[in-house]
Amino acid sequence: QVQLVESGGGLVQAGGSLRLSCADSRRTFGRYGMGWFRQAPGKEREFVAAISGIRGSSYVADSVKGRFTVSRDNAKNTLYLQMNSLKPEDTAVYYCAATSSISTMYYTTAGEYDYWGQGTQVTVSS
């Protein structure tokens, strides 16, 4: 069973930064596509960022482009989301997601992911 453990959430003022981490239990972590999603109260879960396996190609949603960066450290089996210039509308529970298929593609829809972390709360105050 794949385990994803997120960390790094918290309370920050608008304009501040946070870095989320997601530790993956698989030794072959580097082969699989990974993603970040978020869900605000009363809203549907939405795509934030994704990074492919093997090549590490990445993509971020338009709503966070220029502010958020997704990266991975395959030696540490860890996925990151660096969040800068945070806004109150970024407040949400952030989820790490992982695929189970070896691929060089990244994925932007939740249905393409097989494993999910427990979520970490990010709150941005105005």
- In SS3 terms, 53-103 reads as CCCCCEEECHHHCCCEEEEEECCCCEEEEEECCCCHHHCEEEEEEEEEEEC
DSSP 8-class letter at 15: T
Phi, psi for residue 3 in degrees, rounded to 5? -115, 135
Token pair belonging to 20: 């989320």
- Does 103 have pLDDT greater than 90? no
pLDDT, tens digit (0-9, with 9 covering 90-100), for 18-35: 999 999 999 999 999 999
Token pair belonging to 69: 């960066």
pLDDT, tens digit (0-9, with 9 covering 90-100), for 47-91: 999 999 989 999 999 999 999 999 999 999 999 999 999 999 999
